[in-house]
Every structure is written in structure tokens, then in C-alpha cells.
Structure 1
Amino acid sequence: MARTKDENTEGQILDAAKKVFQSKGMDGARMQEIADKAGINKAMLHYYYRSKQLLFEAVFKNAFSLLAPQLNAILNDDSSIEDKIRNFTSDYLTFIIKHPYLPNFIIQELNRNPDFIAKLKENTGFPNLEKFKLQVAYEVEHGSIKPISAEQLFINIMALNIFPFVAKPLIMAFTDTDSTTFKQLMEDRKTEVSNFIINAIKPA
């Protein structure tokens, strides 16, 4: 019973932390607020997570463990390149709209701790590009898409999907949009990004 109780408490903490990080960001989040939202005292929170950084990493890893296998499945299924682009973009954006802190956290962690991604790669389900590389090379060889390496195509997909969230304040300022409008723009990008990339690789 004690073990179940511990797991339930940890789940409550991670859920509360996710909500606070989403609304306040890493810098604005406070451990006391997270403890209050989880229904525990601050001492109990520190018993599970000694620092805000460790708690943030736990929230990230929990979310990434849900996203990574989903994206890996898309990259390694038997669908066409076009469907992969559409499905990858749609699934990624849907997930990041719900977890907007993730892209900035990755950038932050890479700058602070270059070994962070190496640790993530050890997890089961981390995206593997080998089948995607073979598929892109085959399509290029047979003239189905313009000459492009799988690495460059994947970088294009990731860059167009990630950048708006990393540069959210800048984009909102340039486009004079509020949070609600920005969220709708991100929903629209599920189609816009896919169409842009697919049209860019279609043979003339």
C-alpha cells in the first residue's frame, strides 16, 4: 500500500508541476506553488525532487516518453513520405500545443548540459531515422521526390515545427497576435507546414 501511495503522490506532483510550468515557465514556477497544487507541503515535494531543475527534468522526460515512441512509429511505418510528413507534423504540433514548454526546455538543457540528449537516446522508443533514410533515398532514386537527403528533409520538418514555439514572444510581437490567435496559428500549421514541405520536394 505504501508503494502505491508513493507512486500516486509522485503522479500528483508531476501533474501539478506540468500545469505550473505550462502557465509560468521554468523561471516563473515556484516550488511552493507546485506543492500547493499537488496538495502536499513543500518539505514533501523536496523529498521527491530536491530542486526545481530535477522536477522540470522529470516532467520533461515523462512527456517525452509519450511523444518519442509516437513519432518513431510514424517514421518507421509503411506509409508514404507525404503521409509521414503530414502525420509527423500533425502529431508533433498537437503534442507541443499541449506541452509548449518542451522546445525551450530542450534548448535550455542542450546549452546547460550537452549530454542531456545522449541520455534521452538511451530510452526505448527514441526516434530512429534508418528506415526513413532508406525510404527517402529510394524515392529520390526513382524520381518521386526532388534530390534531398533524409537528414536535410528531417531537419526541415523539425525546424518548421519547433521554431514558432521557441520564438513565440517574437512571433506574437511581429504578427501582433494574442495567445488565442497564436494557438490557432499553430493549429493551422499542421496543414501549412506539411503542404509547404511536400510541395518543396515534389518533382517539377
Structure 2
Amino acid sequence: MGKEKDLTTEQKILEAARKIFLTKGLDGARMQDIADEAGINKAMLHYYFRSKDKLFEQIFAEVAGHFLPKVLAIFESEETVFKKIETFCIEYINQINETPYVPIFILNEINRHPEEFLKKVFGNKMPPVGKIIKQLEKEQKQGIIKKVDPLQLLLNMLSLCVFPFVARPVIQLIAGMDRTQFNTMIEQRKKEVPKLIIDSIKK
């Protein structure tokens, strides 16, 4: 019975933290806000999670554990390069839309501890990029795509998907968008980004 209670309390904390991080961001969130949202006192929150960073790390680990297998499956699949680009962009934008606080956290972690971050995400292995590199070379020889640097292609995909979320406050301000209009624009990005990238490498 006690164990069930502990798990329920921890789950309440994680759900509350997701909501607070989503609305206030990592920097704006306070442990007191999370405790209030979870319906517990701050001492109880600290009993489960010593700091805001530790709490966020666990949430990030859950997100990565859910999303990374999807990404790896896309790159390891037998689909064409064009289909992989399209699927990756849609899945990636969907994930960031659900957890918009994650890109900033990733950027901070990469800048602070790049090796530790990669180990946290991939364990002792490096990202399996060999298959997509060989596929790019094959489709170049077949005349399907232009000669393309795999790293540049990946950077283009990531940056075009992530930037609107990282710069959302400025974009909304300059464009005079409310949240609904911003979300509509993000839905359009799911078509615009893969089309832009595919058109740039299509022969």
C-alpha cells in the first residue's frame, strides 16, 4: 500500500512539473509552483526531488526514452530519403509542440556538458548514422538527389524544425500572433519544412 502511495505522489509531482515547465519554462518555474500544482508541500517535493534540475532531468529522460526510438526507427527504416525527411520533420515538430521546454534544456546541456549529455541520451553508443549516410551516397549515384553533406542535411532539418519554438515569443510579437495563430503556423511547418529540404536536394 505504501509503495502505491509513493508512486502516486511521484507521478503527481511529474505531471505537475510538466505543466509548470510547459507554461513557465525551465527558468521561470519554481519548486513552490510545482508543489502547489501537485497539491503537496515543498518539503515533500524536496523529499522526492532534491532540485528543479533533477526533476527536469527525469522528465527529459522520459521524453527522450519515448521519442528517440521513433527517430532511430525512421533513420533505420527502408524508406526513401525523401520519406525519411518528411516523417522526421513531422514527428520532431509534434514532439517539440508537446514539450516546448525541451529544446532550451538540450541547448543548455550541450553547451555545459556535451559528452555527458550524449551519454545520457545514447548511453555508451554513438548515434547510428551509418545507414542514412550510405543511403544518401546510393541515392546520389542513382541520380535521385544532389551531392549532399549528411551533417549539413541533418543541421538543416533540426534547425528548421526547432527555431520557431526557441524564438516563439519574438515571432509572436513581430507577427502579432496569439497562441492559436502560432499553433496554426506550426501545423503548416510540418509541410513547409520537408518540402523546402527535399526541394533543395532533389535532382
TM-score clears 0.5: yes
Match of 2:146 in 1: 146
Contact 1:35–1:41 (8 Å) recurs in 2: yes
- State the one-letter code of the partner of 1:188: Q
| 1:104 to partner: Cα distance | 1.0
Q: Deviations over 1:10-40 (max 9, x none)?
A: 2221111011000011122111221122222
Contact 1:16–1:34 (8 Å) recurs in 2: yes
Q: Which runs of 5+ in 1 are unaligned?
A: none
- Which piece of structure 1 moves more, 27-36 or 82-91? 27-36
SS of the residue 2:87 aligns to: helix
Match of 2:101 in 1: 101
CA distance in 2, matches of 1:52, 1:121: 19
Contact 2:35–2:42 (8 Å) recurs in 1: yes
Match of 2:24 in 1: 24
Match of 1:195 in 2: 195
1:86–1:124 distance in 2 versus 1, CA, 3 Å: farther
Match of 1:156 in 2: 156
| 1:186 to partner: Cα distance | 1.0
- State the one-letter code of the partner of 1:2: G
Contact 1:75–1:127 (8 Å) recurs in 2: no
SS of the residue 1:115 aligns to: helix
CA distance in 1, matches of 2:153, 2:113: 27
Identity %: 43
- Which piece of structure 1 moves more, 119-128 or 104-113? 119-128
1:38–1:125 distance in 2 versus 1, CA, 3 Å: farther
1:55–1:80 distance in 2 versus 1, CA, 3 Å: same
SS of the residue 1:147 aligns to: coil
Match of 1:184 in 2: 184
CA distance in 2, matches of 1:55, 1:100: 16
Match of 1:3 in 2: 3
Match of 2:12 in 1: 12
Q: How many residues align?
A: 203
Q: Which runs of 5+ in 2 are unaligned?
A: none
CA distance in 2, matches of 1:31, 1:103: 21
Match of 1:121 in 2: 121
Computed over aligned residues only, the root mean square deviation of the Cα atoms, in angstroms, reads 1.9
